[in-house]
Amino acid sequence: MGMDFSTLRTLISRYCVGEENWVDSRTVYISHKEPPPGTEAFIQQRFPDNRIVSSKYTFWNFIPKNMFEQFRRVANFYFLVIFLVQLIIDTPTSPITSGLPLFFVITVTAIKQGYEDWLRHKADNAVNKCPVHVVQDGKVTCKQSRKLRVGDVVFVTEDETFPCDLILLSSSRDDGTCFVTTASLDGESSHKTYYAVQDTKAYKTEEEVSSIHATIECEQPQSDLYKFVGRINIYMNNEPVARPLGSENLLLRGATLKNTEYIYAVAIYTGMETKMALNYQSKSQKRSAVEKSMNDYLVVYLCILISKAIINTALKYVWQADPNRDEPWHNERTEAERQRHILIRAFTDFLAFMVLFNYIIPVSMYVTVEMQKFLGSYFILWDDEMFDEELGERAVVNTSDLNEELGQVEYVFTDKTGTLTENNMEFIECCVDGHVYVPHAICNGQVMPGSDTIDMIDTSPGPDARDREELFFRAVCLCHTVQVKEEETVDGIKHGIHQGKSSSFYISSSPDEVALVEGMNRLGFTYLRQKDSHMEILNRDDKVERFEVLEVLSFDSVRRRMSVIVRCSTGEVYLFCKGADSSIFPRVISGKVDQVKARVEHNAVEGLRTLCVAYRCLSPEQYQEVCHLLSRAKLALQDRDRQLAEAYDLIEKDLILLGATAVEDRLQEKAADTIESLHKAGMKVWVLTGDKMETASATCYASKLFRRNTQILELTTKRTEEQSLHDVLFDLSRTVLRHYGGMTRETSSGLSDDYTDFGLIIDGATLTAVMRPGQEGSNSGNYKELFLDICRNCSAVLCCRMAPLQKAQIVKMIKTSKEHPITLAIGDGANDVSMIQEAHVGIGIMGKEGRQAVRNSDYAIPKFKHLKKMLLVHGHYYYIRVSELVQYFFYKNVVFIFPQFLYQFFCGFSQQPLYDTAYLTLYNISFTSLPILLYSLIEQHINADILKKDPSLYKDIAKNSLLKWSSFIYWTALGIYDAIVMFFGAYFLFDNTTFTSNGQLMTTNTQMMFGNWTFGTLVFTVLVFTVTFKLALDTHYWTWINHFVIWGSLLFFVVFSLLWGGIIWPFLNYQRMYYVFMQMLSSGPAWLSIILLITTCLLPDVVKKVICRALWPTTTERIQTKRRCLASEPSTIFMLSQTSSRMSF
Amino acid sequence: MMASSYNAKEEVDGHHPGSSNHGGTGPINSKKPDNTAFKQQRLPAWQPILTAGTVLPAFFVIGLIFIPIGIGLYVTSNNIKEFEIDYTGAEPNSPCYVCAQNFSWNSTTPCFCTVNFTLQQPFENNIYMYYGLSNFYQNHRRYVKSRDDKQLNGDSKALEEPSSDCEPYRKSGGAPVAPCGAIANSLFNDTLDLSYVETNGTSTPIELQKSGIAWWTDKHVKFKNPPGSNLSVAFQNTVKPVNWRRPVYELDPSNPDNNGFINEDLIVWMRTAALPTFRKLYRIIPKKSGAVSTLPSGSYSLRIAYNYPVLSFDGRKRMILSTISWMGGKNPFLGIAYITVGSICFFLGIVLLIINHKYGNRSSSAEIPN
C-alpha cells in the first residue's frame, strides 16, 4: 500500500487543471476550518441550509401560485377565458353559468392541493425541526436539523436517520465500518456496509474529530443514489494527503444507522441538494390512449364550436342587412351600441356565440374523468384476489391516469428473473473441472461426486484435483458480497445457517449469491463473517481459515462478473472471479474449458442459472500494479466509472477456469397460465432477460411462452457468425412471410386450429447490430423494419443477454413502430426500471430485489399471476367505463347545445339562449353528472369470472375500438339526431298553433299561452330524460347505486324545477321561470309530447343495438346473450317490475 | 422546478401513501383488503341485455299504445274549429290598406277599418280570440332582455330607477318609463271588436271577456301595481312608453283589477313568444247558456282600431277564433307524430321478429365452443 500520494496528487491536479477549474465540483471545509495557507485558495462556497421544502406553497403565495398552476391547464384556461369574455361583453348568458362551475372546480382542486400542501408543511416541519447532534469546538451540541450546514460534523447514534448526505469519518466499530438500511430510499431493507475514510477512522471522540483538518472535494449533487465521486485532502502537519471517496463512504439522507453504536460524519449535501430530495423529482407524465382520443375529440368539438359561431355570425349579418330586421321600431339599439364600429360589433357577436355554445366542451368532463380515474383505481387496491398472503402485500397504484390503458395492451415485455420466476434460488450443483457435485448427495460434509449423471466424471480425482476442488469452494465462499446478519427479523432474503449461530442469516442484494454461499455450506465450506477486512471460512475440517480482503471489484451488469482479491494466511494473493460464462470464457487461459462449457450448456438447457468461477494467482509485482491501476481509477473525479471499468478489464484477465455452478430459479405459480391467457387475449409477450439463451429459452418453454409446436427462429450471434446479419434477417422474414401467406389461406378454409406459431430468440449483441443506426445508409433502416416485420408475426419473442438500457431500447423501438402499439413492461428489479418507465404502462413486481421497480412503476402487483386479473378484468372494465364516459359526455353536450344552435335560426341570430341560466349551469354539474360518474365506476358488461375465463374477450376492445372515429361519429350523429328531434318536436308544437295549457288544473278556466321559456323548458325536460335514459339503456349492471343515482337525478331535476319556478326569488332581477315548469306540466299536450320525443330520441339507438347484436354480434355480446339464456331469472322479473314502478314516479 | 411529487411524509414513515391502510387492524393482515361486496365489485345487480327478443314486446306495446293515442289526438284536433283572418292591409284590396299605409305614430285619432267574414259552421262552447303576429321577433335577445321584472312587481324603487336592461326604453325626457323596456313599449294595441251581422244587415256586437287570459300566477303574484290606492298617483313620476297612446294607469280605466301593471293584455304581451310567428290570447267569448251556439254560422264583422304598424318589418297581423279541447288548440302535429312513431315502432317490431326468428336462434345456440 506504499503509494506515493503526493505524486498522485500532483498527477490529479495536473489532470484536473484542464477541467475548467472544477466547475462541477464543490469544496467542503470540514468543521469550517480554512485549509492551511499556501495549499489551496480558500473559497467559501454558498450552500443551501438543510431545510427540506417539499411544500409548494406558502401561506402568502398559495392563492396566486395555485391559481396560476391551475390555469396553466388548457381546459381551465379555456373556461377562464370564456368567463372573462362573459364579464366583458354583453353576453347572452350570465357569467354565472360558466363562472360557477369553474369556481367549483378550481375551489375543489385548490382545497385538495392546499390540504396536501398543509400535510407536507407539517411533515417538513417535523423533519426540519428534529434535533441533530453536531460537533462544535470539540463538544457535541444539539441543533435543529434545518440549521445544519455543509461542513458540519454530525454525530449520529444507532437507529437514527441521517439528516443529510454525509461522508463517514469514523464509527464506533474498530474497522471504521457502519451498517445502514436504505429501506426508505429504495426499499431494500438489507444492511449495507459503509466505510469510513481510512485516515480518519481512528478519530473516535468529539475532541479528536474536531481536530480533523481536511477539505473534501466532490462533485455537485446528482440524483443517482449509487454514484458518488470525491476526494478528501487531509492536512497532516500542513502536508495534504488525498484519499478517494466513493459511494461506499457516502451516507444518504433518509437511510438509518444500524448495528453501529455511533458515527461521526461530515455533511456535504444538505437540504434540497441531498440525493433523496433530488430523487423525488416528478416522474414524466404518461398519457393514455383514451386521453389522446379525448384530446382529439376536443379539438373536433372546438372546431365545431368555432365554425358554429362563425356561421351564426355570418348569417346574423346577412339577416340583419335589412335595417327593418336589424332594428325594427319595437327593438332599437342603444345609442352607444349604434356608434360602435361594425367590426367590433361583429367580433363581439362572434364571442357571444362562442359563449353561448361553449358548453359543448364541458368543464365537468375533466373533473368527472379525473374523479373516475382516482376513485376507480381504488378497486385495484381493494381487490382481494390481488392480495398476496405470503408477502402480505396488495396491489399498489402509483398513477391512476393509466387505468384504462391496462385494457389496451398489445405488447407485454416481461423480465424473467423474479418476474416469471420466483427469484428464490436454490443451489443445484457445481462442476469442478468436469466433476459434478450435487449437495443433496452429500452426507455430513463428505463430498460425493454425482455419479449417475454425467459420463465425463473422472472417477478418481487425484490429489491435484482435490486441491482444485477446495480452491473452487473457497473461491465461491469468498467471491461475493454476502453479509451475515445476526438477527431474525430481517425482511430481506433470509437463510438460516444451520451450523454455527442458529440465528444468523445470509443477506445479499442478489439471491444467487446467497444460494451459492448456502450451497457451499452444504458442501462443507461455511462462510462465517467478515471481520476487520478478513473473511472467515469454516472449512471441512471445522477449521477457520482467514483471508484478507484486499479489493472487491464489484458486480455490474455490463461486465457481468465480479472479483475479489484476497491474501491467504500463507501470503499468496489470489484474484477470484465469478461471472456469466460469456464474460468468463474469453478471459480464461487454462483449465478444463471444454468439460465445463459442456456442463454449463447442459445446465442452461435445463433452465438453471449458471455462473463460472475462475481464479488468478497474483505475484507481488502484479498485485502492486493492480493496486496502482485501481487507486488511480478510484481517485479520478471525472469519468471514474469508465476508468474503473478499464482498470477492471485490465485486472480480470489471464484467468484459470475452476468450474461452474448451477442454481435453480423456479417459475412463479401460475406463470404459465398467465402467459397463456395473455396470448389468448391477443397480446404478444416478449421476455427480456440478462440470462443466457439456453436458460432463458428453457424458462420460456416451462412458462408456455414457447409451445411444442412453436417454430423457433434464432437470431443470435452464433448464427450471424455463420451468415451475415443481412442474410439471416432475410431468411427469417422469408420463412415467416411464406408461412403467413399460407396461414391466411388456411384460416380462410377454416383450418386455423393447427397452425404453428413462431417464436423468435434474439440476443443482445445481434440486437445492437440490428438497431445500429445509419451505418450503411438506407440499409440499416431496412434491418430495423425487417426485424419489426419478423417480430410482428411472432407470438413470442425472447431477448436474452440484455443490458438494462437495451430493454428500454426494445420497448421504445416497438412503441415507435408504425402501428404505435400500446406496450406494457413488467419487472421487479432495478435493471427493469428503464423499461418500466419507457413503456406505456409500467408494472412493478414486489420482488426480492428491492423496491426500485415498484417505486418507478405505474402499478405494482405482488406476483406475476396478478397481471392476468389486472389486464383482463380491471383493464377491460376501466377501458369500457372510460370510453363510455368520454363518448357519453360529448354526446350529452351535443344534445344539450345543438338545440341552442338551431334556435338561433328562429330568433334572428340574436344569441338568445334557449334554456334558463339555472339549467345551463346545472345541466352538467348536477342533472346529468352523477349517473355517468357512477356508471363509469361500477359498470360491468360481463362478469369478472367470464372475463378471466375467456381471455379472447380482450380482443374486442383492442386498438382503442370503442373510441374509434366511427363510433365517435355515431355518438355525435346520435346527439345531433336527438337534438333535432327535440328542437323541431317542440317547434312544431309551438309553431303557429295554440299550444296552451289547460288551465282547468289551475284556478281559472282559461287558456294560457306559452312563451319562449316554456319552449326551452320543454326541450330541456326532454333532454334531461333522454340522456339519462340513454345511459340507462347502456347500463348492463344495475346495482342499487345505479338505480338510486339514475332515478334520483331525474327526481332531483323535477324537484329543482318545481322549486326554481315556484318562488319569486328575491335575489334575481328577472323572474322568467316563474311557474313555467308547473304550467308546462299542467298541459296535456306537453306530457304527450315529452313522452313522444323521448321515445323518438331513444328509438334509433335501441334499434341499432338490437340489430347489431342479432346480425353482427361481437364475442362480448355472444357471451352476454349466452349467459342470459342459461341463467334462470326470477330476479330479473322482480327487478323489472321494480324499475317500471319507479319509472312512473 | 422543485420536486413536485416529493412527499416528505414518506421520509418520516417510509410508507407509500397509496398503500396506506384502509381499515385493517392487525399488523400482519393490515394490507389485506376488506372482503365486502362493494370493494370486490360484486354488488348484487340486475343485468339486463337488449336483445331482439326482449325489445320486441316493447316495440309492439309502444306501437299499440301510440297509434290509438295518435288517432285520438288527430280526431280531437280536427274537431277543433278554427277561423283565421289576416287584416294586415298589405294588399291594396284589403280593407285595412288605407290604415296601414297612412300609419303615423303622431296621429291622435285611431284609424278604423272593418273586415267582414263568414263562419261556415257554428262555434260551440267557449271561443278563444287570438291575435297573431308574424315576423315579429319577440324572442330576439335584445328584446327578451329589455324588461324590469322588479318594476312590474310593483317595486317603487325600480319604478323610479328602472333596470339598465330596459335601455334604450328606460327613461324618456329624464323621467323613468313605466313600464320600461322594449317589450312593454311595443305592447300590441290594436283594438278588435267583433259583431254578428244578421241577414237583415243589423250587427250585434259580441261580448268579449277581457279577464282570465293571463296566467293566474302572473296576474296575482308576478305582476303588481306600485303601492297606493290611486294608480295615477302611484305612477305620477313616470312617463308612458314612447309608443303608447295612453299611460299605463289608463289601460283599462273601467276595471281597477285590470289596470296598470296587472292589465291582462300587458301581462300576456310580456310573456315573450318562442318563435317569430306567434299568437296571443286576446279575448274570450264565453259560452252562452242553453243550447245556443256561442258563435252561430253566418256573417261577422271585425272592427279594428289600427294602431299597430307591422309593415315596416314585413309583419302580418291576424285574428283567430278557435274552440279548444282537452288538449288545447288545433294541433294536428302531435296526432300525426304519434301515429307515425307508433307505426314505425310496430313496423320495427315486425322486422325484429323476423330477425329474431332467423338469427336469434343461431346466435344463442351456435355458441363459442368453450
Q: What is the pLDDT of residues B199-234, one digit of tens each?
A: 888 889 999 998 888 888 888 999 999 988 888 888
- State the pLDDT confidence band at A601, using cuts at 50, 70 and 90: confident
Let me know: does B255 contact B164? Beta carbons within 8 Å.
Answer: no
Give the angle subtended at the CA of A1102 by the CAs of A1099 and A1104, to the nearest 5°: 105
CB atoms within 10 A of CB A138: 13
Binding-site residue ranges of A for ATP: 415-417, 513, 555, 578, 609, 689-691, 801, 807, 831-832
Contact B331 A254 (CB under 8 A): no
Q: Which parts of chain B have pLDDT scores under 50? A: 1-28, 363-370
B168, B312, B329 ranked by CB distance to A324: nearest? B312
Let me know: does A36 contact A238? Beta carbons within 8 Å.
Answer: yes
Taking only the tens place, the pLDDT of each residue in A472-508 is 888 888 888 787 766 544 444 444 444 433 446 777 7
What does the CA dihedral A166, A167, A172, A173 come to, rounded to 10 degrees? 130
Contact B18 A396 (CB under 8 A): yes
Say how far apart CA A252 and CA A262 lie, in whole Å. 16
Taking only the tens place, the pLDDT of each residue in A888-913 is 999 999 999 999 999 999 999 999 99
Measure in Å the smallest separation between the Cα of B261 and chain A Cα atoms.
15
B279 touches chain A (CB under 8 A): yes
Measure in Å the smallest separation between the Cα of A571 and chain B Cα atoms.
47
- State the pLDDT confidence band at A740, using cuts at 50, 70 and 90: low
Q: Kindly tell me if the per-residue pLDDT of A10 is higher than 80.
A: no
Q: Which helix (H) or strand (E) holds A157?
A: strand A153-157
Contact A328 B221 (CB under 8 A): no
3-class SS of residue B190: coil
Contact B327 A1072 (CB under 8 A): no
Q: Which residue do the cell numbers 441550509 mark?
A: A49
pLDDT of residue B167: 85
Contact A1071 B40 (CB under 8 A): no
Chain B positions touching A1009 (Cβ under 8 A) are 268, 271, 273, 279-281
pLDDT of residue A493: 40
Query: Which residues of B62-188 form beta strands (DSSP E)?
Result: 82-86, 111-119, 127-134, 171-172, 175-176
Best mutation target among A274, A322, A353, A993 (most B Cβ atoms within 10 Å) is: A993
Q: Kindly tell me if the per-residue pLDDT of A878 is higher than 50.
A: yes
A52, A119, A1075 ranked by CB distance to B217: nearest? A1075
Q: Which residue do the cell numbers 282570465 mark?
A: B212
Q: Average of pLDDT values for A727-737?
A: 79
Say how far apart CA A264 and CA A270 lie, in whole Å. 16
B214 touches chain A (CB under 8 A): yes
pLDDT of residue A489: 40
End-to-end CA distance of chain A: 94
Q: Please tell me the class of the A396-419+668-738+757-770+783-861 domain.
A: alpha beta
Q: Kindly tell me if the per-residue pLDDT of A443 is higher than 50.
A: no
pLDDT of residue B343: 96
Q: What CATH architecture applies to the domain A427-445+464-488+503-666?
A: 3-Layer(aba) Sandwich (3.40)
How is residue A463 written as a grid cell? 490429489
Q: What is the percentage of chain A residues whose pLDDT exceeds 70? A: 85
- State the pLDDT confidence band at A424, using cuts at 50, 70 and 90: confident
For B278, name the nearest residue in chain A, comparing CA atoms only: A992
With 0-12 CB in 10 A as exposed, 13-18 as middle and 19+ as buried, what is A583? middle
Known catalytic residues of A? 415
pLDDT of residue B15: 39
- State the pLDDT confidence band at A451, using cuts at 50, 70 and 90: very low
**A563-567, A826-830, A959-963, B337-341: the lowest-pLDDT one:** A826-830
Which of 304-343 (A) contact B at CB < 8 A? 324-325, 328-335
A1104 touches chain B (CB under 8 A): no
What does the CA dihedral B319, B325, B331, B334 come to, rounded to 10 degrees? 160
Q: Which helix (H) or strand (E) holds A311?
A: helix A289-319
Measure in Å the smallest separation between the Cα of A1120 and chain B Cα atoms.
7
What CATH number is given for A148-279 in this structure?
A: 2.70.150.10
B344 touches chain A (CB under 8 A): yes
Say how far apart CA B316 and CA B311 lie, in whole Å. 7
Measure in Å the smallest separation between the Cα of B206 and chain A Cα atoms.
19
- State the pLDDT confidence band at A1140, using cuts at 50, 70 and 90: very low
Say how far apart CA A416 and CA A772 lie, in whole Å. 25
Buried b / exposed e over B266-282, threshold 16 CB at 10 Å, is bbbbbbbbbbbbbbbbb
Which of 92-151 (B) contact A at CB < 8 A? 126, 128, 130, 132, 136-144, 146-150
Contact A907 B45 (CB under 8 A): no
B281 touches chain A (CB under 8 A): yes
Q: Average of pLDDT values for A1044-1051?
A: 96
Please name which of A653, A646, A514 lies closest in space to residue A575, comparing C-alpha atoms.
A653
Taking only the tens place, the pLDDT of each residue in A967-1004 is 999 999 999 999 999 999 998 887 655 545 443 333 33
Please name which of A410, A439, A383, A358 lies closest in space to residue A83, comparing C-alpha atoms.
A358
Looking at per-residue pLDDT, the higher value among B66 and A289 belongs to: B66
> Residue B114 pairs with which residues in a beta bridge?
B303
Chain B positions touching A324 (Cβ under 8 A) are 312-314
Average per-residue pLDDT for chain A: 81
Q: Kindly tell me if the per-residue pLDDT of A617 is higher than 50.
A: yes
**A565-579, A1006-1020, B136-150: the lowest-pLDDT one:** A1006-1020
Domain ranges of chain B: 52-80+331-358, 82-324
Buried b / exposed e over A617-650, threshold 16 CB at 10 Å, is ebeeeebeebbebbbbbbbbbeebeebbeebbee
- State the pLDDT confidence band at A41, using cuts at 50, 70 and 90: low
Q: Average of pLDDT values for A1028-1053?
A: 95
Chain A positions touching B3 (Cβ under 8 A) are 54, 272, 277-278, 280-282
Contact A334 B185 (CB under 8 A): no
Say how far apart CA A590 and CA B151 lie, in whole Å. 110
Taking only the tens place, the pLDDT of each residue in A300-355 is 999 999 999 999 999 999 998 888 888 889 888 888 888 888 899 999 999 999 98
Contact B313 A1008 (CB under 8 A): no
Chain A positions touching B11 (Cβ under 8 A) are 52, 123, 127, 161, 184, 254, 276
Binding-site residue ranges of A: 415-417, 513, 555, 578, 609, 689-691, 801, 807, 828, 831-832
Q: Is the backbone peptide bond immediately before A362 cis, with ω within 30 degrees of 0? A: no
